Amino acid sequence: MPDKIELKQISLVPIKNAALTTRSSALVRRGLNDLKAIEETLADWVPLSLRVETEGGLTSIVIERKTPIPVQKTATFSTTYDMQRNFEFHVLQGEFPLGSENASLARFTVENIPPAPRGAHQIQVTFDVDINGILHVTAKDAVTQKPYSIRITEISPGLSENEIDKMLKDFNARTRKT
């Protein structure tokens, strides 16, 4: 067993902290000497998937739920029609493919895209969740390289642990029916 265990990524939710502390203590009492397993037990994670809604109301997952933080992931999107000048992104949190069924976090628009045929412009969107659970979203047109960014300080805005659990139960109930 190592002499020192650094607790790096502690949740800001007191009930979850207590549960994780109890679990890690039990692992130590049982003689678990795998530091990686203990660190994973204590790691904070993304409670619901982080998504982008684009044209048509459908979403794409950028960071899946239960991904340990800190984490950074990038997704690439293409313009959806000829001569498209702007591209609106809707940042969401939830498990459903339709944007309207998820929690809205923010909206932003990549503007002044040079006119081109549909699909000619690639826009890279990066989600970066830092150790404090703050989501930084950046987007960059591959042609102009102009960056756009927003900072979301609350990944689950106003969502309690019970509401997050309810969203997950609703999602699980729907997926079992199909």
Mean pLDDT in residue range 54-64 = 91
pLDDT the model gives residue 109: 85
Specify the residue for token string 């265990």: 5
Q: Are strands 87-93 and 103-110 parallel, antiparallel or unpaired?
A: antiparallel
Give per-residue pLDDT as tens, 113-153. Answer: 889 999 998 999 999 998 888 889 998 888 888 888 777 65
Q: Which CATH class, in words, describes the domain spanning 50-177?
A: mainly beta
The domain locations on the chain are: 1-44, 50-177
pLDDT given for residue 76 in this prediction: 95
Task: Using DSSP, state whether 141 is helix, strand or coil.
Answer: strand
CA distance 150 to 165: 27
Would you state the pLDDT for residue 8? 29
Helix (H, G, I), strand (E, B) or coil at 66: coil
